[in-house]
Amino acid sequence: MIEEADFVIAGGGSAGCVMANRLSEDSGNRVVLLEAGQPTDKLLINVPAGMQSVVASQDTNWFYTTEPDSSANGRRIFLFSGKGLGGGSSINGMVYIRGTRYDYDQWAAAGCTGWSWDEVLPFFKRSEDFDGPDSEWHGKGGPLGVSQLRTIHPLAYSFMDACRDLGMRQIDDYCSGDIDGTFVNFATQRGGNRCSTAEGFLKPALKRPNLEVITGATVDRILFEGTRARGVRFIHDGAVREIRVAREVIVSAGTMQSPGILMRSGVGPGAHLREHGIDVIAGREGVGKNLHEHPSLPNSRQVDMATYNVRNNPFRLAAEGMKYLLARRGWLTTCAVHAMAHVRSSPGLEYPDIKYQMLPFWNHQNVQAYFGADTPVPDSTRTCGITIGVNLMTPNSRGQILLRDTNPASRPLIDFRLYDDPSDLERMRKGLQIANDIFAAPSLAKHVSGTAYPPDPNQSDEDWDDQLRSCSATGLHPVGTCRMGGDEDSVVDPQLRVRGVDGLRVADCSIIPVLPSANTNAPAIMIGERCADFIRGNRR
């Protein structure tokens, strides 16, 4: 284990693996990547349909729990977060989506100079190895496999037809920044296998002698000399270790963990740090604030044709296994979501604020987890069903992350406040009602054959609101706790440098000032590309 490096990256998730690759391309850079989890080169991770098993494993999922949320009827909400090399890209649903042109132009207008759609598009494309036709919106030959779905369930087309029944338009390529309609989504796959950033970016770089990857390394804090970052302290094999840093530390531990690393290092809200006996290096009140997410609730129906949840008999699995082994086809190559749609919760909105994700399966255990253990649900291993996941893309509610104590192994205190702003509840209610309209549209209604969940699609607004508070989860896209901005209250500046100190950056979804209308893996990868480019540009 080396004792000094030019760059230390604290966190080997979606963005961290990108930066490890890009910074080590220069053979003169000594780069160390620290990751608390383990390598993720396992069969169930690489086979797309293995996702449900991978998500359920404590080896690959942090399984965070929030504090009781008064805006959600006092519930604690469970949160998934990738653990291990590749982070979320190793366990997620593999949906590749960037968001809208407006999302990024909004960042730039708010002071994030250099982050408009036209300025970030080249960094999305730089990563890509797109398997579709040549396009101005896609890149070829990059480390990240981005693929058209190899196997699409027929009901995905029925879902899109139902959306068109309601007046939505079909989008040919939503990576243009236009998501105002319905479409089949792309996936982070290559050749029918999952393409995480560990697989696409990190694996090819491991042969470089100037890159060292240390797994099972829990970062405690950044070490400062005055206000300059000069090292990283971490726990590895039960021992406290330190690495000196000649140039920069990049914190990339994710929305839940990055603020804690900063705070334990003395960068954060002064009063909170002093409560925990931490000397304040830089009082930054915004560290841990601005936590926000896509509220989510599934809407499921029984249907009249086979869906993926019932394809679990030995003969079917054997047949699908042969398809996968011989041709990388069939449902083992499937990602979670096959089609999507974006709509406005009210006609006066300039841009869509509700997202629908069509999943060609349902799960009776998930239904009971959302709607109550006593909810009567048919066994989903024997009944066919699909799910439309409803998500609010532009939430106004904000929560925060705080330290529970100074132990780096302790879980953060997550104060989510999922529905703290009443307008979010109102818009989610409308989104669920539109989802019912999609199920009732002729193109999809002809396939609906049984029970609906939520149980009563025609309940009152008050009952909808209570159900949302009682049952909503998150879209698993938390952002914002180390907010980027051009203002002095932001945690990082537009080049991702932590304000008030030197030699320290943050590069992950925690820097996102306002959620894009997208699953956050593609934006996280773009952020990693952007940060590496800033660093290399500064050296030139």
So which residues are the catalytic ones? 477
For the chain, how far is it from start to end, CA to CA, in angstroms?
Answer: 29
d(CA 44, CA 54): 7
Sequence-distant (6+) residues with CB within 8 A of 164 are 170, 182, 443
Q: What is the DSSP string of 429-486?
A: HHHHHHHHHHHHSHHHHTTEEEEEESS-TT--HHHHHHHHHHH-EE-S--B-TT-B-S
For the purposes of burial, counting CB atoms within 10 Å of the CB of 33, is it exposed (0-12), middle (13-18) or buried (19 or more)?
buried
**Mapping DSSP to helix (H, G, I), strand (E, B) and coil, where does residue 287 land?**
coil
Q: In Å, what is the CA distance from 112 to each residue of 63, 103, 412, 457?
A: 32, 12, 28, 42
**Residue 76 CB coordination number (10 Å):** 13
Which helix (H) or strand (E) covers residue 21, if one does?
Answer: helix 14-24
476 φ/ψ angles, rounded to the nearest 5 degrees:
65, 40
The one-letter code for the residue type at 274 is R
Nearest-angstrom CA–CA distance, 536 and 206: 20
Angle, helix 521-539 to helix 14-24, in steps of 10 degrees = 30
Could you give the strand order of the β-sheet that contains 186-187, starting from the edge strand earlier in sequence?
Answer: 95-96, 186-187, 144-148, 128-130
Closest residue by Cα to residue 264 from 393, 410, 132, 114: 410
Lookup result for tokens 């206000």? 227
Contacts with 348 (C-beta within 8 Å, 6 or more apart), sequence order? none
> Which neighbouring-strand residues pair with 182?
170, 341
Distance CA 7, CA 4 (A): 9
